[in-house]
């Protein structure tokens, strides 16, 4: 009788938010970037994807993916590239050791779930593809390092290659035409600078107007400013950011983070026709951070924005009262997402301009309080039962 055993393995993977942004592809097929980038991995207790990869000869429908309970298309080039690369590595193991079960030829059933609501407005493709690649690598028992897996996850979504590590992570753009050196590595463990915190201000949970994939292509094709960004601005930011992280220099970390976000959004505005991801509420968050830093007399907070209006504000734990206290008292306790244990007892230490406060109060629908965290974690919590049914 044919082997109908269900093989399975599960992992979690984190979200990451870049402080030096990836924006631009030099090869859209291999997903090779025009510049290096650097991110902070966020804690999985607040934001993570859990994915089970399973395979079995009994899966008659071919490869499938269930995402937050909904069937999702696996025929896209990006998912196919990940499946193909992982299967090729498994097939090589099977060829070298004929006693291994022939998993590479079995259909895959992938089931994936986020622990944060879609209403959080955070793009989950980074955590999603990192979890998918890590889970299949676990299923196939590939002896691949996170950096080797980053080569595969990159082809699913560029930013996903950075979610294979915890802490502070660089994606080196590389120069080989085949992408073999366009790889992620860990700049520092989370424990190197564990005081790093992030406050996400959700200005809109709506799916972004212009997707990053198409937005960055338009920028590369039409922006004159972009050439300056990738040749001069980003290399300086990468160097300065690695130094700031090594020295745990928050003032330097913050300045580069804010300058890089500004530079990225400037190239979006310089795209023709222009792309606007930030809105009035985003700009109020920028002003709020400037006012907090000015009132504190030193840099205690840094803003950054991805391809949407939500603000991510980095700060250090010791400045929670100045940063979180100010936003908490402006937004009010009725906004969902505050962590009671952190906000109880925070005094309104600084005050913001009335116009800025009003825009934030009217425009922020949710907050997420989190911090730097670990990379993917293997788990025995499976989303596919032993008989192959999704649970
Ligand atoms: C603004 O990784 O979503 O968040 O490779 O086309 O899937 P694709 O793009 P994606 O782009 C992320 C862009 C960004 C900056 C960043 O995360 O570095």
Ligand 1 centre from 80 Cα, in Å?
Answer: 19
DSSP type of residue 206:
S
pLDDT at 119: 62
Q: Return mean pLDDT, the chain.
A: 95
Give the nearest ligand 1 atom to 216 CA. Answer: 6
Nearest in space to 59 (alpha carbons), one of 47, 74, 46, 48? 74
Query: What per-residue confidence (pLDDT) applies to 205?
Result: 74
Q: Looking at 120-129, 299-308, 325-334, which range is the least confident one?
A: 120-129
Atom of ligand 1 nearest to the CA of 20: 18
pLDDT surpassing 60 at residue 1: no
**What share of the chain has pLDDT > 90, as a percent?**
92
pLDDT tens per residue, range 2-35: 689 999 999 999 999 999 999 999 999 999 999 9
Residue 52 has pLDDT above 60, yes or no: yes
The answer, yes or no, to whether residue 249 has pLDDT greater than 60, is yes
Question: What letters, b where the CB count within 10 A reaches 16 and e where it falls short, cover 307-324?
Answer: bbbbbbbbbbeebbbbbb
- The ligand 1 atom at the shortest distance from the C-alpha of residue 37 is 18
- Which residue's alpha carbon is at the smallest distance from atom 6 of ligand 1? 213
Shortest-distance Cα residue to atom 11 of ligand 1: 212
For a ligand 1 pocket test, name from 27, 171, 212 the mutation site with the most ligand atoms within 8 angstroms of its C-beta: 212
The yes-or-no verdict on residue 114 having pLDDT over 80 is: yes
Nearest to 49 by CA among 10, 13, 79: 13
Centre of ligand 1 to C-alpha 23, Å, is 7
Nearest C-alpha neighbor of 284 from the set 248, 330, 317, 324: 330
Question: 262-279 pLDDT, tens per residue?
Answer: 999 999 999 999 999 999
pLDDT at 117: 75
Q: What domains, with CATH codes, occur in the chain? A: 7-189 (3.30.230.10), 196-371 (3.30.70.890)
CA of 162 to the centre of ligand 1 (A): 11
How far is the centre of ligand 1, averaged over its atoms, from the C-alpha of 242 (Å)?
A: 20
* Cβ pair 269, 210 in contact under 8 A: no
Q: How does pLDDT run across 156-207, given as a tens digit for each residue?
A: 999 999 999 999 999 999 999 999 999 999 999 999 999 999 999 999 777 7
* Angle, helix 125-139 to helix 77-96, in steps of 10 degrees: 20
Ligand 1 pocket test, candidate residues 158, 173, 182, 267, most atoms within 8 A of CB: 158
Instruction: Find the length of the chain.
Output: 391
Task: State the pLDDT at residue 174.
Answer: 98
- ipTM for the predicted complex: 0.99
Other CB atoms within 10 Å distance of the CB of residue 341: 8
- pLDDT value of position 32: 98
The gap from C-alpha 384 to its chain's centroid, in whole angstroms, comes to 25
Q: Nearest residue CA, atom 5 of ligand 1? A: 158
pLDDT level of residue 346 (50, 70, 90 thresholds) = confident
pLDDT in tens, 283-313: 999 999 999 999 999 999 999 999 999 999 9
pLDDT exceeds 60 at position 377 = yes
Helix-strand-coil split of the chain, %, nearest 5: 40, 20, 35
The atom number, within ligand 1, closest to the CA of 171 reads: 18
Nearest residue (by CA) to ligand 1, atom 4, is 306
d(CA 123, ligand 1 centre) in Å: 9
Does the pTM surpass 0.90? The reply is yes
Question: Can you spell out the DSSP letters for 260-303?
Answer: HHHHHHHHHHTSSS------HHHHHHHHHHHHHHHHHTS--EEE
Query: What pLDDT sits at residue 345?
Result: 83
Residue bearing the CA closest to ligand 1, atom 14 = 306
* CA of residue 370 to ligand 1 center, whole Å: 21
Q: How far, in Å, is the centroid of ligand 1 from the Cα of 219? A: 13
Ligand 1 atom nearest residue 158's Cα: 5
Q: Which residue ranges have their beta carbon within 6 Å of ligand 1? A: 18, 21-23, 31, 37, 123, 125, 157-159, 212-213, 306-307
Mutual angle of helices 146-156 and 125-139, in 10-degree steps: 130
CA distance 26 to 227: 12
Ligand 1 centroid, distance to 306 Cα (angstroms): 8
**The two structure tokens encoding residue 321:** 């009262």
Return all residues near 19 (Cβ < 8 A) that are at least 6 apart. Answer: 38, 39, 40, 241, 253, 256, 257, 260, 302, 304, 314
């Amino acid at each position: 009788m044919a082997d109908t055993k269900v093989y399975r393995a599960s992992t979690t993977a984190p979200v990451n938010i870049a402080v030096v942004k990836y924006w631009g592809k030099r090869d859209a097929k291999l997903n090779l970037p025009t510049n290096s980038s650097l991110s902070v991995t966020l804690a999985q207790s607040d934001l993570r994807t859990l994915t089970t990869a399973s395979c079995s000869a009994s899966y008659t429908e071919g490869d499938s993916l269930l995402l937050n309970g909904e069937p999702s298309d696996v025929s896209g080039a990006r998912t196919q590239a990940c499946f193909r690369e992982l299967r090729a590595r498994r097939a090589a193991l099977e060829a070298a050791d004929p006693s291994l079960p022939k998993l590479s030829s079995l259909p895959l059933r992938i089931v994936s779930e986020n622990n944060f609501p879609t209403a959080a407005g955070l793009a989950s493709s980074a955590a999603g593809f990192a979890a998918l690649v890590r889970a299949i690598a676990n299923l196939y028992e590939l002896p691949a390092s996170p950096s080797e897996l980053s080569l595969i996850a990159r082809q699913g979504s560029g930013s996903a290659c950075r979610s294979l590590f915890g802490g502070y992570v660089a994606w080196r753009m590389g120069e080989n035409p085949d992408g073999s050196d366009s790889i992620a590595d860990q700049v520092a463990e989370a424990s190197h600078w564990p005081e790093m915190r992030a406050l996400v201000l959700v200005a809109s949970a709506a799916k972004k107007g212009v997707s990053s994939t198409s937005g960055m292509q338009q920028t590369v094709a039409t922006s004159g400013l972009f050439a300056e960004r990738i040749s001069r601005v980003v290399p300086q930011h990468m160097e300065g950011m690695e130094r700031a992280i090594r020295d745990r220099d928050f003032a330097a970390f913050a300045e580069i983070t804010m300058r890089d976000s500004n530079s990225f959004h400037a190239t979006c505005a310089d795209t023709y026709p222009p792309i606007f991801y930030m809105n009035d509420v985003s700009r109020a968050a920028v002003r709020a951070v400037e006012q907090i830093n000015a009132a504190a007399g030193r840099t205690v907070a840094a803003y950054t924005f991805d391809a949407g209006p939500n603000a991510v504000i980095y700060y250090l734990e010791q400045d929670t009262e100045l940063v979180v206290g100010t936003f908490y008292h402006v937004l009010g306790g009725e906004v969902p997402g505050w962590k009671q244990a952190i906000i109880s007892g925070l005094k309104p230490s600084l005050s913001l301009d009335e116009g800025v406060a009003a825009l934030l109060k009217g425009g922020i629908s949710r907050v997420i309080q989190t911090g730097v965290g670990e990379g993917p974690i293997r788990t025995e919590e499976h989303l596919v039962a032993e008989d192959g049914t999704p649970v």
